[in-house]
């Protein structure tokens, strides 16, 4: 294992996460489409100088390819803004508020006034030849097991168009993704070893999931900037899984050690490969590709807006899990409640009946079991098992109309079409029939313990008997 401190490893993360709102500078829907596009246009893009008066080296590199770009679009997802035929509208306020939430959870200082910028991009991923981006906050931090890692900047920007087909001199893009709000979080180069890379990524991921962001493959992209003493910075793009960051960081350090020995010291952007290696993508871009957006005014972020968001920051998953442990739930139930965003429902139902384990099963476990056994979609089940229905069932337990053991059978009856009041009036098995069945099962399966017999009998009668009655009878026939 390498001594990363001795090697002088420095690493920073860049995380790009789509926000779950309409597009950033227009009102078009933010969803990807798979059907045939409604129209196509063709473009060529040319290199221009940035604010410094120079043409960026990465821009020159792309311009040298002399490619033709085809753009596909749909009327609901694409307007004249994406086609660069109309000025942008004012920035999407909802996406700005989400970005401010994330910035505050990352302990950042928010800019009271900031300039929307254009970043020159002529690889075809933007019809205009630039990407709009705006700095929102800076100077934050996250704590890790290896020490504090600074957050240099939090920015809000447009996502790029997505590649559909690529050749040497022609690329086809789809415009449905172009303009989706994208938050960019850049850490300081404070990460000192590959394991810390993963820890920081997971911590920031926890913060993002607490806010209104898109989920699924392709909605988050992660890059690392990494170097050792004596080697220029290398940017590596294309991560989806944090666990791959450890492997790629380790292999990149090995590559840089070899480069130093061979005096092959090139500053560049590389692509992450599935096996943990990297390959050349393009030269490292610089500041020369940035210039101010001319169609929009300065973005002012008021103190009242910041204070309002600060007063209502969402809880992180890690904090929610600790809270749920306080209610006596096990890790499995906690993960189910958190992953299905059922915390508010759980809290509300606990006010009626304090049995958090029972309520968690009603919310996330038994509906899934019914869906699998009865081959009914979970959406249909959840439409019938509303919060009001669950409240009535819990009140019936409180009023001793049914027992806790009856609940699963009641839920099943409701899903199958009974009203909640009909389902609560369970048809009870007579004690005589129950006793006969218990004796029969014990003879068929001798030698089991009471809990095993209990499970068999409860499954046989499906809510028509109470667990208390079953236990009492089993104690007569089964030796503990």
Where is the domain boundary, 256, 279, 307?
307
pLDDT of amino acid 332: 85
In 3D space, the residue among 332, 383, 321 whose CA is nearest the CA of residue 357 turns out to be 332
Same domain, 401 and 436: no
Burial of 217 (0-12, 13-18, 19+ CB in 10 A): exposed
Asked if 381 and 248 sit in the same domain, the reply is no
Long-range Cβ contact pairs of 450-453 (< 8 A, separation 24 or more): 450/474, 450/475, 450/478, 450/480, 453/478
Mean pLDDT split into 10-residue runs, the chain, 480 residues: 89 96 95 92 76 69 77 91 93 97 97 94 87 97 95 97 88 95 97 93 92 88 94 89 87 95 92 91 79 93 95 85 82 84 86 89 91 90 90 89 83 89 72 79 82 78 67 76
pLDDT value at residue 120 = 86
State the pLDDT at residue 428: 60
- pTM, two decimal places: 0.74
Contact yes or no for 291/50 (Cβ under 8 A): yes
Query: Of 123, 136, 184, which Cα lies nearest the Cα of 158?
Result: 184
Cross-strand bridge partners of residue 290? 119
- Domain hosting 436: range is 431-477
Asked whether residue 327 falls in the same domain as residue 355, the answer is: yes
pLDDT score, position 434 = 77
Specify which residues 174 forms β-bridges with. Answer: 72, 162
Domain count, the chain: 3
Say yes or no: 47 and 155 in one domain: yes
Question: Is 249 found in the same domain as 340?
Answer: no
| pLDDT of res. 176 | 94
- For residue 80, the model assigns a pLDDT of 94
Tell me how far apart the alpha carbons of residues 352 and 27 are, in angstroms, rounded to a whole number.
42
Residues 168 and 256 in one domain: yes
281 with 325, same domain: the answer is no
In this predicted structure, what is the pLDDT of residue 404? 83
User: Residue 273 and residue 251: Cα distance in Å, rounded?
Assistant: 11
Do 350 and 327 contact (CB within 8 A), yes or no?
yes
One domain, residues 41 and 131: yes
Do residue 297 and residue 322 come from a single domain?
Answer: no
Residue 188 vs residues 9, 145, 148, 280: alpha-carbon distances, Å: 13, 16, 10, 24
pLDDT at position 164 is 93
Instruction: Based on the fold, state whether residues 412 and 321 are members of the same structural domain.
Output: yes
């Amino acid at each position: 294992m390498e001594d990363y401190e001795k090697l002088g490893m420095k690493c920073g993360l860049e995380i790009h996460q789509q926000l779950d709102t309409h597009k950033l500078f227009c009102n078009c829907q933010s969803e990807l489409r798979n059907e045939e596009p409604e129209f196509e246009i063709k473009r060529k893009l040319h290199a221009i100088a940035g604010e410094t008066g120079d043409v960026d080296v990465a821009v020159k590199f792309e311009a040298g390819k002399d490619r033709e770009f085809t753009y596909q679009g749909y009327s609901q997802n694409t307007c004249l803004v994406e086609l660069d035929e109309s000025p942008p509208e004012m920035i999407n306020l909802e996406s700005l508020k989400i970005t401010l939430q994330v910035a505050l959870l990352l302990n950042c200082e928010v800019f009271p006034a900031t300039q929307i910028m254009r970043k020159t991009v002529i690889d075809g991923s933007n019809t205009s030849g630039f990407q709009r981006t705006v700095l929102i906050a800076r100077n934050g931090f996250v704590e890790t097991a290896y020490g504090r890692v600074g957050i240099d900047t939090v920015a809000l920007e447009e996502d790029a168009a997505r590649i559909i087909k690529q050749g040497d001199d022609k690329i086809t893009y789809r415009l449905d993704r172009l303009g989706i709000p994208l938050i960019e979080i850049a850490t300081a180069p404070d990460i000192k070893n590959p394991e810390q890379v993963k820890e920081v990524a997971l911590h920031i991921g926890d913060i993002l999931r607490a806010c209104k962001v898109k989920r699924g493959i392709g909605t988050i992209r992660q890059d690392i900037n990494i170097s050792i003493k004596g080697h220029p910075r290398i940017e590596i793009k294309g991560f989806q899984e944090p666990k791959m960051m450890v492997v790629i960081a380790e292999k990149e350090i090995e590559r840089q050690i070899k480069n130093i020995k061979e005096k092959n010291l090139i500053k560049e952007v590389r692509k992450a490969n599935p096996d943990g290696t990297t390959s050349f993508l393009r030269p490292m871009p610089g500041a020369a590709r940035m210039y101010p957006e001319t169609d929009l005014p300065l973005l002012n972020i008021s103190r009242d807006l910041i204070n309002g968001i600060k007063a209502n920051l969402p809880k992180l998953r890690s904090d929610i899990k600790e809270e749920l442990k306080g209610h006596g739930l096990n890790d499995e139930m906690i993960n189910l409640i958190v992953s299905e965003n059922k915390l508010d429902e759980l809290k509300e139902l606990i006010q009626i009946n304090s049995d958090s384990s029972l309520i968690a099963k009603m919310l996330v476990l038994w509906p899934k079991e019914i869906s699998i056994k009865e081959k009914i979609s979970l959406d249909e089940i959840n439409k019938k098992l509303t919060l009001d229905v669950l409240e009535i069932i819990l009140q019936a337990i409180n009023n001793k109309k049914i027992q806790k053991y009856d609940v699963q059978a009641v839920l099943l009856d409701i899903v199958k079409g009974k009203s909640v009041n009909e389902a609560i009036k369970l048809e009870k098995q007579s004690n005589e029939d129950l006793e006969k069945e218990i004796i029969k099962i014990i003879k068929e399966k001798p030698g089991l313990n009471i809990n095993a017999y209990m499970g068999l009998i409860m499954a046989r009668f499906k809510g028509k008997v109470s667990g208390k009655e079953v236990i009492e009878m089993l104690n007569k026939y089964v030796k503990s």
